[in-house]
Chains A and B, each alone.
Chain A
Amino acid sequence: MAYVATRGGERAIDQAERLFRAEMGEIDAARVEEIRRAMPYLVDRVMGEASLYDPDIAALALAQTGGELYEAVLLLRAWRTTQPRLQVAEPVAQEDLVTHRRISAAFKDIPGGQVLGPTLDYAHRLLATEVLTGTPYTPAAVEPAETPAPAKQPSVAHWQAANDLVDLPEPDTTAPEDIPDITREPLLFPAKRAHSLQSLARAETGSTLALGYAAMRGYGKAHPTVNELRLAEAEVMVKHPKGTVFSAGRVKVSQAEVVSKSGDKLQLGFAATLGWNEVKCIAAATLDLNSAGAEKGSATEEEFYLYHTEGVESSGFCIHFKLPHYVTFQSSLDAMRDANSKNANSKQEEPAT
């Protein structure tokens, strides 16, 4: 093993970082606030992938990295390690979510009904180019209903269980402090379900969509239908030193349940994440639905998709290839030249025919 030492790079490295940051210029609180206010879905995506919920910190990471998402998530994951863990909150239950959007593609008449919430699903995708020529784009105001929607909605799966369509799972009685945690334990296979769902919750959106899409297109065994999709807010239920459990505030969460027919019952796949990111949740739930019995090395095999949707590891491995590999590459070149030389010599030594 050999190394190539180089000198004279320190100034170049310093200037290269300056060149990157120069494009963003000065970052102040107003810029961070504007990113947080104007790009809530980007902030949500970064918080979900970073597995750290704080819109201000996420917006700051976006400001500092110029929107380079892998760098922003890496920055947040690194910053997270500087903070002590104070508590593990009470588990969030679907029925307790303050629900903003709740739809089902499987059943139109679900108990509680369907509310579209904030969505562009039915919007024309038109670019407001007039903004660039000085005419601001002002969206039409929401016309609120006379009466409020129920804050909480019942579970579709419970209704299906009452109609003998699904088997409801036994409640998990694991104490919050004892729930397996991949930030403190290695991810081993076959993975604990808690590890698998936590990995999907913090998975990179693009790669999760790519593998989920592969499963949807036919590279999986089960075709998904969205049983229930929710964008909601969850109360963070923490404990006072005297034991009183209270809400320290709300966080945005997304969850998707996808369904497929399996024998005489419906089979469910599930995923959830911090922030509002429904594409990731539907794709991740599709992977969950397809994982049981998936072929080794297929897109829907748990080990395959959990390793390849971990954004910090995958982007880190990808970008390491641009770092100096001079010795290993030269070694390959030497071997190639040696083989070529031997081939040429053997041809010269061959007798004329």
Chain B
Amino acid sequence: MDGATPQWSHDVVLSVLARSASDQIKAFAETLLPLLGPLEVLQSRTGLVMLPMRDTAQGTAFHLGEVLVSEAHVKCGDHQGYGMRRDRDLEAAMAMALVDLALDAGIAVAQCQAFLADQQARQQAEDHETLCRIEATRVDMETF
């Protein structure tokens, strides 16, 4: 990824985009569209991802069940963008693919990274709040 920095490895970029707020990533991707040029949409669809798990008793990997996702795959010249999110929001998956494409092509990198930083901060704040609520339920056992 041309726009990658140590803070923004490709896996972190994609994970943050996949979890980003639907309305916000769509609005941000709209601003990228005029900069990206003609696009070829290779895929825009919903589908399933089978989710395996490892059993802790005997170590066996087995399938828990399938997860509905939306997927988008776009191409612009030699660059490609990909989005997959756990929902059935095709527009949000397409928006994710456009951000990935922009970073791959080195377009609007600073804006993309600012968007990523904002979304990551929101996600971390959300996780922090959830985990503080969970911590409130910690029990300290005493033996009488």
B is bound to A: yes
Say what secondary structure dominates the interface of chain B.
mixed
Q: How far is the CA of A99 from the CA of B63 in the complex (A)?
A: 20
- CB contacts under 8 Å to B, within A47-74, are 47-48, 50-54, 56-57
A160-175: contact bitstring with B at CB < 8 Å (1 yes, 0 no)? 0000000011111010
**B35 in the interface (beta carbon within 8 A):** no
> Pick the contact of A109 from B65, B134, B141 — CB < 8 Å?
B141
- Interface residue range, chain A: 35 or more
Most buried by A among B57, B130, B141, B143: B57
Least CB distance, A199 to chain B, in whole angstroms: 9
Residues of B within 8 A of A270 (CB): 55-58
**B7 in the interface (beta carbon within 8 A):** no
> Pick the contact of B48 from A86, A244, A268 — CB < 8 Å?
A86
B132 with A86: CB separation less than 8 A: no
Kindly report which residue of chain A lies nearest to residue B136, judged by CB atoms: A145
**A310 in the interface (beta carbon within 8 A):** no
A174 with B49: CB separation less than 8 A: no
A238 with B84: CB separation less than 8 A: yes
A114 with B49: CB separation less than 8 A: no
B67 with A89: CB separation less than 8 A: yes
Q: How far is the CA of A289 from the CA of B64 in the complex (A)?
A: 19
Q: How far is the CA of A115 from the CA of B138 in the complex (A)?
A: 4
B12-55: contact bitstring with A at CB < 8 Å (1 yes, 0 no)? 11110011000000000000000000000000011111111111
Q: How far is the CA of A118 from the CA of B137 in the complex (A)?
A: 8
A181 with B50: CB separation less than 8 A: yes
Residues of B within 8 A of A235 (CB): 15
Q: How far is the CA of A247 from the CA of B12 in the complex (A)?
A: 9
**B114 in the interface (beta carbon within 8 A):** no
Known A83-B46, A249-B19, A257-B56: A201·B62 in contact at CB below 8 Å: yes
Kindly report which residue of chain A lies nearest to residue B55, judged by CB atoms: A270
Residues of A within 8 A of B54 (CB): 91-94, 171-172
**B91 in the interface (beta carbon within 8 A):** no
A201 with B64: CB separation less than 8 A: yes
Least CB distance, A228 to chain B, in whole angstroms: 8
> Pick the contact of B10 from A118, A179, A201, A242 — CB < 8 Å?
A242
B59 with A86: CB separation less than 8 A: no
Q: How far is the CA of A208 from the CA of B53 in the complex (A)?
A: 20
**A28 in the interface (beta carbon within 8 A):** no
B69 with A248: CB separation less than 8 A: yes
Residues of B within 8 A of A88 (CB): 49-50, 52
> Pick the contact of A249 from B12, B47, B86, B138 — CB < 8 Å?
B86
> Pick the contact of B60 from A47, A142, A197, A201 — CB < 8 Å?
A197
A86 with B49: CB separation less than 8 A: yes
Residues of B within 8 A of A86 (CB): 47-49, 69, 71, 84
Q: How far is the CA of A90 from the CA of B85 in the complex (A)?
A: 15
Q: How far is the CA of A171 from the CA of B87 in the complex (A)?
A: 31
B49 with A240: CB separation less than 8 A: no
- CB contacts under 8 Å to A, within B47-106, are 47-69, 71, 73, 80, 82, 84-88, 100
Residues of B within 8 A of A129 (CB): none
A126-152: contact bitstring with B at CB < 8 Å (1 yes, 0 no)? 000000000000000011111111110
**A251 in the interface (beta carbon within 8 A):** yes
Least CB distance, A285 to chain B, in whole angstroms: 8
Q: Which 3 residue pairs of A and B lie closest in terms of their CB atoms, listed nearest first?
A: A249-B86, A169-B59, A148-B131
Q: What are 11 A-B pairs with beta-carbon distances under 8 A?
A: A80-B66, A84-B48, A89-B49, A108-B141, A108-B143, A115-B134, A115-B137, A144-B129, A149-B138, A155-B56, A246-B10
